[in-house]
Chain A
Amino acid sequence: MKCDYACHQPDHLLARRRFLGTLSAGFVAGGLGLLTAPAAAAQLAKDQKRVILFNMHGGLSQLESWDPKPGTDTGGPFRAIPTSVPGIHISELLPQTAQQMHHLCIARGVNTAEDDHGKGAYMMVTGRREMPGADYPKVGAVFAKALSAEAASLPGHILIAPWGGGSRGNDAAYLGPNFSSISLGNGKPPANTARPDSIAAASDDARNDFRRKVNERFLSRRRTAITDAYTHSYEQAHAMMRERDSFDVTKESPSDQSRYGSHDFGRHCLLARRLLERGVSFIQVVHSNYDTHNENFNFHFEQLGEFDRPFAAFVADLADRGMLDSTLIVVLSEFGRTPYVNHLYGRDHWSKAWSVLLGGARIPRGTAYGKTNERGMEVVDGQVDHASLFHTYLQAVGIDSLGHFVVDGREIPVADPAAKPVEGLLT
């Protein structure tokens, strides 16, 4: 679907591009060093924690999704429907997701006080406000660092977006390129993971054997952490080549493929499931575009129509496969949309009262946390923001969000030290 939004000011375009730039592609040599306790580390190795983040790019309307206000002057034309959890209603645009609500949790009191695309997106994926001269890693890099096993053959930080692809993103800041995202543009496998036809398999093996032998001689003179990292990168590369099928969604059963749908977002969701099953720590799936300054209702009707079925199938599959306890699900945007409807039947940027959907891991099942007032104008209960949510994501998979990364001898707080996790969003 091609959207022609009103939001075409250069600022928006620039911000959007910057946002994309920061979210585009690395590999992981990771940690497990940040877990709350050594026992947790052992547990995690057995039952590896994972995180999936759906980024509703452009700003999903909370009123057409998680926090409908039917029958009010701000509510718009859509009805609210009951869900699998008595008492929780969501928009009728999400009928399938409604049936999975018993696995999920809506945070309805999000107030981030930032209506700019770039800044809002930055806050939601770093858990901090942008500050000149400072640069923080994006959520995926943090999880890759904290959750991925050093020997993992697949990248720990994957981005699946409708665009771009193949390369390493600039999103790990001081954590370093090992934790940057690898982007699978429109679901394509990472760049250079296929051996070129010009090189025979035997030839590739032979040259790598020779390389190893040459290394052995040199490393007997001097072997250090950096030589190890270097030689290991080739072994990792080979593991990725061997496991290239992990990125091939057509290897899933035809019935699953049809259940998720043949459109891009459906394929991306199924690919995400496939990769999570293969131990990838963090995946971000981008669904674009929700920046509906005009024709908000038509566009949400179409966009959520695409989103609902594969997302609901994804949640149900995770639950069926027993992966829900180890997998955190987050559905977020850079902000929500205005309760008032503008003269183009659009909704504009609105960050003071909107919703984020969570699920799995330590998130309480089948709940709604926080509340906005009758017309959705402000948060009246359970207010949370980008920073406290960021702490919560980390805690949900057993990472001590109050801990530090040690980078080059410097201690850097994992999350904004001025904020705390939201206890009500954790069991």
Chain B
Amino acid sequence: MIRAKWNRWHRQLPIVFFLALNAIPFVALAQAPVESLHERIDRAVDAAGSGVSAPPAEDAEFLRRASLDLIGVPPTKDELNLFLADTSPTKRPQAIDRLLASGSFARHMAHVLDIMLMERRPAAAVTQDEWHQYLETSIRSDKPLNVLLKEILSADGVDAPLRPAARFYLDRAGEPNLITRDVGRIFFGRDLQCAQCHDSPLVDDYHQSDYKGLFAFFEGGTVVTRKEGDKDKSYFGERASGDISFESVFVKGKKHLTAARVPAAAELAEPVFHPGDEYLTPPADGVVPIAKFIRRQQLAEQATSGNNRAFNENWANRLWAHMMGRGLVHPVDMHHSSNPASYPEVLTMLGAELSATNFSIKGLLRELALTRVYQRSIDFPSSLAEKAVTATERLAKLDQDRPAMAARMEESQKAYEALKEKHQQAEASLVPVGDELTAARSKVVEIDKKLAEARKQVVDAQANVNRRKGALASLTEAIAQAQRVAAQIPEDKDLAASAAKLAEQSPRISAEIPTLEKVVAEKGAAVEAILPELTAVKQQMDGVVTRWQPLREPVRAIDAEVVSARQQMMDAVATLARHDERIRLLKTFVEFKQAEEARASSSVQVASAQSSMASAREQMADQAMAIAQKQLEIAQADEQMAQAQSDLARLEKERQTADESARLLGEAFALVESAKQSMVSDPRLTTMVTMLEEKTGQARQQVQSIASQMADAAARTTQATSLSQQAKDGFAQSLQENVKRFQGAVGVRSLLEQAQADALQLASKAGQVESKLQSEWSSDLTLAALKPLSPEQICWSILRITGIEDRYEQVERDELNKSAPLSEDAKKDPAQLAARELQIEQRAYEKLKSAVGGFIAHFAAASGQPQSDFFATADQALFVSNDGTVNSWIAPSAGNITDRLIGQVDPRAAAEDLYLTVLSRLPSEQEISDVASYLGRRASDKSAAAQELVWGLLTSAEFRFNH
């Protein structure tokens, strides 16, 4: 099947390629300076945008995006591989053309239009199939959008081929207020609901007269139900009516009136008919009335003529929103001047282009898909701060332009107010005559009714006469017959008597006839009597019309001026509002730049504080070493001192011993000397004296030596004391220095902490501004938007990815090949082959489409509510997690992705197949290794593991959104 699809595509390639070559840049180059729409769009967006943009989407992302937008499903793996391998510079335009030419395009766009127009209301008057078929056929045959919408706006359901078009009205039960709201929203982009009872308190541009003007088209709408066969069939007819008179619930007693009015256009000029004369086919039971002047016809024609700006821009905006994920005007049903388009010039351009290109849906979508804006990625651009420089300049320029714009706006407001005042005055004099006209009209209705009643009486009376006359004729015949029978059988007296009896009746009945005829005449006279009365009230009404007309026309004329002044005012207001919006956006950008700069400068400060901190730490380390040195010195000096002191103590002891020895020797010497004097000759004494003398000398010497040693030790002590003192001083100094440096370091640290806190705060501020910028840029085309898949897209994408679609198509192909095999010639005819493929797809689609119901039930907004708002609820996640639907689709089945994962032994190939099939892109190296380890861990349970991987990707945000 994939192969077959690819073949089909491939066969078309040369043609498509040829077309693409012709259609895109070459025509523009060769033929002259006709700039294509997509180029003009890009130029306008570049000129007015933020000055930066997301980088272009990569090929895989582009193809997934375009496929989902144009045919509702992602590309198949084969399509994607071929696209990625293609090196042609025009491969994107080619892909767009291929998608637009695909059979699925019409079906997908039919879904899109269906949801847009019906908002999932239940199908009652027209089946969902008929309706869808109608839309799909219209798109497949390239019916211009305005033609399709004209059919819908003017539909009454009578014309069989166009009957489905009446679903818009019929499945809203013909309710005029509901239809007014939805036609306003869906066809003109204006939700006038809040202007139903008074001018909208929320939107300056939505007036009660706008609501009532649109309401006038549907006020007379009437659903006519007829029994046809065994079914009730309903039609949407229209009863004629006049101007609508209304008052605001806030300003009671001040009446206004309006004729039917297409939004943003002047009032309709309507012919005035006498009641009873308004119809070609008057209303009656089971009859769809046909008025001479059908308002809805006028609405359909005016709206779709190409000249109604509101209509053109609304539909251009809706198609834009379909592709870009968000309208230029958002929400798409809130076109008004305080909610200007993000790029008004682009909206104007698109509206005009849609009209100029004959409302070609394909044509516009193609141009949109070709824009660079469409092909941007979702990624936030990098190095923004540099690019923001120009924003400041742009901002200055915008600020400069503002006062003139504001002045223009005020001027236009004044002009509008003046005209509005004029209109109100004219209207005030018209209203009483309008009331008279209403009264005169009801008088005519009343007499007309009386006349109809009288005429009916004539008819009834005449019928009476006719009945009598008929009876008389029958009687006369019966008499003749009876007389003939009596004559034929004269002996039967009874017969003659009967004949006579019959004959007796005749005069009585004959006599009654004139009486009855008189009644006819009387009733006839009564009719005659009413006729002049009718003529009189009609004349009366004509008289009022004659007075009314000259008042009505100026009101209409002033109204036309009001409409145009209002449009100018709205444009001026919108221009200023958009200008202010642009200023706001640029301010965020500038704010971002400043925040980024602050963040950058704060990180510089952090770095510098960090380096100061490092040097302070170094200095503290140095000082610690100095302190240690001084401590060492002190210790050394103290040690020296201790040594000297201990020397001194020892020497003192020695000195004392020596002193004692010297004293004892001296005493001994003196004793021996005196002994010698007494015993001179004793030589031993002489020897002893000599010896003692010598000894004493020695002792004295020793004492001296010790004294000198002691002096030395004392000197050493002094020196060591001074050294110690010095060292202690140095130590104290170092300590002081240390305290200083520590204090310095503490200061540096608190600076660092401050800088870090500042940096954190600035980073968070920058982060905030960045996310603000991201969200603003998400809505102004700087970044591509994330588009949630519709319930249909989710369902059909999963059916395709899990191979269910393939399987069903294969069954249909086999079936068709058996029941209606193609001839050999047909097999060679691309057109016939394509038709066959379409037929196969269609048949598979029919069989599978009931599966969508479960997805609609969970993923779609409630019936009758806008369907474009994203929401995520737990019941959706529970449905995908625990319901059988998705779980059974991802079960392994011959050749589907789960099956292939189980069979694949090369983890890289498995990962690539998985990501290409489910997420339409190649996996990163990290993702490959994740898949490899996932499957590796679960080798014994590969089937479950494969299903888990497929489920995990199918439920990822990357799958849930088109990006």
A14 partner residues in chain B, CB cutoff 8 A: none
B202 partner residues in chain A, CB cutoff 8 A: 410-411
A203 partner residues in chain B, CB cutoff 8 A: 944, 947-948
* Contact residues of B between 831 and 865, Cβ < 8 Å to A: 857-858, 861-865
Q: Is the CB of B861 within 8 A of A222?
A: no
Q: Which of B108-116, B423-431, B812-820, B881-889 contacts A (4 or more CB under 8 A)?
A: B881-889
Nearest chain A residue, comparing its CB with the CB of B191: A410
* Candidates B857, B930, B961; contact of A213 at CB < 8 Å: B930
The interface bits of chain B over 938-954 (1 if a CB of A lies within 8 angstroms of the residue's CB, else 0) are: 10000011011101110
Q: Is the CB of A214 within 8 A of B871?
A: no
Q: Chain A nearest CB: distance from B938 CB in Å?
A: 8
* Candidates B783, B947, B956; contact of A214 at CB < 8 Å: B956
B958 partner residues in chain A, CB cutoff 8 A: 214-215, 217-218
A191 partner residues in chain B, CB cutoff 8 A: 875, 878-879, 883
Q: Which of A78-86, A170-178, A392-400 contacts B (4 or more CB under 8 A)?
A: A170-178
Nearest chain B residue, comparing its CB with the CB of A135: B864
Q: Is the CB of B884 within 8 A of A196?
A: yes
Q: Is the CB of B177 within 8 A of A133?
A: yes
* Candidates A171, A180, A207, A224; contact of B951 at CB < 8 Å: A207
CA separation between A236 and B956, bound complex, in Å?
15
- CB of B896 closer than 8 Å to a CB of A: no
B951 partner residues in chain A, CB cutoff 8 A: 207, 211
CA separation between A155 and B875, bound complex, in Å?
10
A411 partner residues in chain B, CB cutoff 8 A: 202
* Main SS class of interface, B: helix
Q: Is the CB of A240 within 8 A of B861?
A: no
A236 partner residues in chain B, CB cutoff 8 A: 873-874, 877
Q: Which of B862, B948, B957 is packed against the most chain A CB atoms within 10 Å?
A: B957
A408 partner residues in chain B, CB cutoff 8 A: 331, 869
CA separation between A200 and B862, bound complex, in Å?
34
Given A196-B884, A227-B786, A182 and B934 contact (CB-CB distance below 8 Å) = no
- CB of A134 closer than 8 Å to a CB of B: yes
Q: Is the CB of B878 within 8 A of A193?
A: yes
Given A133-B178, A213-B930, A214-B952, A180 and B862 contact (CB-CB distance below 8 Å) = yes
- CB of B129 closer than 8 Å to a CB of A: no
B887 partner residues in chain A, CB cutoff 8 A: 196, 198-199
Q: Is the CB of A155 within 8 A of B874?
A: yes
Q: Is the CB of A221 within 8 A of B378?
A: yes
Q: Is the CB of A224 within 8 A of B778?
A: yes
CA separation between A234 and B879, bound complex, in Å?
10
* Candidates A133, A170, A178; contact of B871 at CB < 8 Å: A178
Nearest chain A residue, comparing its CB with the CB of B878: A192
Nearest chain A residue, comparing its CB with the CB of B379: A221
Q: Is the CB of A229 within 8 A of B871?
A: yes
- CB of A219 closer than 8 Å to a CB of B: yes
Q: Chain A nearest CB: distance from B962 CB in Å?
A: 12
Nearest chain B residue, comparing its CB with the CB of A171: B862
- CB of B955 closer than 8 Å to a CB of A: yes
Given A133-B177, A167-B857, A233 and B874 contact (CB-CB distance below 8 Å) = yes
Q: Chain B nearest CB: distance from A169 CB in Å?
A: 8
Q: Is the CB of A240 within 8 A of B874?
A: yes
CA separation between A272 and B941, bound complex, in Å?
43
* Contact residues of B between 324 and 362, Cβ < 8 Å to A: 331
Q: Is the CB of A27 within 8 A of B181?
A: no
Binding site for B on A (CB under 8 A): 25-27, 131-135, 155, 167-168, 170-174, 176-178, 180, 182, 190-196, 198-200, 203-204, 206-208, 210-211, 213-215, 217-219, 221-222, 224, 226-227, 229-234, 236-237, 239-241, 408, 410-411
15 additional contacts, CB 8 Å, given A215-B958, A410-B202? A167-B857, A168-B873, A173-B865, A176-B861, A191-B878, A206-B938, A215-B957, A217-B958, A224-B778, A226-B788, A226-B961, A227-B957, A230-B961, A234-B877, A240-B878
Binding site for A on B (CB under 8 A): 175-178, 180-182, 193, 196, 202, 331, 378-380, 774-775, 778, 783, 786, 788, 857-858, 861-865, 869-879, 881-884, 887, 924, 927, 930, 934, 938, 944-945, 947-949, 951-953, 955-958, 960-961, 963
Report, nearest first, the 7 A-B pairs whose CB atoms are least far apart: A237-B877, A210-B952, A207-B948, A132-B177, A192-B878, A170-B862, A233-B872
- A–B Cβ pairs within 8 angstroms, 9 of them: A131-B196, A132-B176, A168-B875, A173-B865, A177-B871, A221-B378, A224-B774, A224-B775, A408-B331
